[in-house]
């Protein structure tokens, strides 16, 4: 029972589901297929290699392959995440927007405060003046970016849902950044193609954030590479997709498309990449 409790505290959603379904080793003999038995063995190995730190509220996982040096990796718990958020510098206007959005349909689509803080810092580090965002929703991430831009900066903000876009525009006004934001109501791919047709290629933009239709990520990426300058950055959200990308038993169209996109980025020598496990996973791409 102690081992099962420890594993349930670990971050592997795969193993958590496994514990519910196979809560004793005796169930192994009842598994009919070779695949199921193989999966049982692999997950049992995960259990043996999952440890708790001295603080039961902050468990860690130890990599089971010695080539990683038995690296201890933090697993984010609710208590630890509360601590992280307590150390995020969230402007009052962003907090106000976040709290209003929490009561709206689809509020889970909004980026987290720690993600928005990272996006704003990337914009500042780059000295970005021209940015693009695909998938605005109610504007939390775009507002964070706009606040980080210089007064002469510009953010092209694309969103297909008119109702949520009205909320975003209201907060741009409240924050005094409307003059920095060029709102585009429509499909992200169509907006990008129109920008390219209008001659905005030749590396016009410094930074782009992608948080729109996940099955379109590859097309968005190819279009953005025509718009973002060498040394510019493209950030893609939801690349871990609630952990589904690492679960071989999950093969719905959206998960497979994200998995394939992640694989293509690994092999793409046009960009340098860093997959950051923040929020639902973000990949930061720097155009070479």
pLDDT for the residue 180: 98
Contact 233, 156 (CB under 8 A): no
Q: Where along the chain do its domains lie?
A: 91-287
pLDDT for the residue 46: 44
Q: Which residues of the chain have pLDDT under 50?
A: 1-30, 33, 35-55, 58
pLDDT for the residue 18: 38
For tokens 């929703």, the residue is: 137
Secondary-structure breakdown of the chain: helix, strand, coil percentages, each rounded to the nearest 5: 50, 20, 30
Helix, strand, or coil here: 228? strand
Q: What is the pLDDT of residues 141-162, one digit of tens each?
A: 999 999 999 999 999 999 999 9
CA-nearest of 24, 7, 6, 26 to 16 is: 7
pLDDT for the residue 59: 64
Q: What is the pLDDT of residues 3-32, one digit of tens each?
A: 332 333 344 444 444 334 434 344 444 455
> What homologous superfamily does CATH list for 91-287?
Vaccinia Virus protein VP39 (3.40.50.150)
Cβ contacts of 243 within 8 Å, gap of 6 or more: 12, 13, 14
Reported pTM: 0.80
pLDDT for the residue 62: 72
Cβ contacts of 18 within 8 Å, gap of 6 or more: 39, 40, 43
pLDDT for the residue 60: 72
Handedness of CA 137, 259, 84, 114 (dihedral sign): negative
φ, ψ of residue 58 to 5 degrees: the values are: -135, 75
Helix, strand, or coil here: 277? coil
- Output DSSP code: residue 199: T
Length of the chain, in residues: 288
φ, ψ of residue 210 to 5 degrees: the values are: -110, 115
């Amino acid at each position: 029972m102690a081992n099962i409790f420890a594993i349930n505290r670990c971050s592997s959603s795969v193993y958590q589901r496994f514990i519910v379904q196979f809560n004793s080793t005796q169930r192994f003999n009842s598994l009919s297929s070779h695949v199921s038995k193989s999966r049982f063995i692999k997950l049992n190995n995960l259990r043996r290699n999952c440890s708790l730190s001295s603080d039961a509220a902050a468990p860690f996982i130890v990599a089971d392959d010695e080539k990683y040096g038995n690296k201890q990796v933090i697993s984010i718990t609710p208590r630890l995440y509360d601590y992280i958020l307590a150390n995020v510098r969230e402007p009052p206007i962003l907090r106000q927007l976040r709290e209003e959005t929490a009561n709206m349909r689809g509020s889970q689509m909004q980026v987290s405060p720690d993600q928005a803080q990272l996006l704003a810092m990337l914009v500042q580090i780059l000295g970005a003046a021209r940015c693009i965002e695909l998938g605005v929703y109610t504007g939390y991430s775009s507002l964070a970016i706009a606040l980080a831009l210089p007064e002469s900066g510009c953010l092209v903000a694309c969103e297909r849902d008119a109702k949520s876009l009205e909320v975003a525009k209201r907060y741009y006004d409240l924050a005094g950044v409307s003059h920095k934001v060029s709102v585009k109501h429509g499909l992200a791919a169509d907006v990008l193609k129109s920008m390219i047709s209008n001659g905005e290629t030749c590396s016009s933009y410094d930074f782009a954030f992608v948080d729109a239709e996940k099955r379109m990520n590859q097309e968005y990426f190819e279009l953005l590479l025509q718009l973002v300058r060498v040394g510019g950055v493209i950030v893609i959200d939801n690349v871990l997709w609630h952990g589904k990308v690492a679960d071989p038993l999950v093969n719905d169209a959206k998960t497979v498309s994200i998995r394939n996109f992640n694989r293509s980025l690994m092999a793409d020598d046009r960009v340098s990449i860093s997959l950051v496990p923040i929020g639902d996973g973000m990949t930061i791409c720097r155009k070479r």
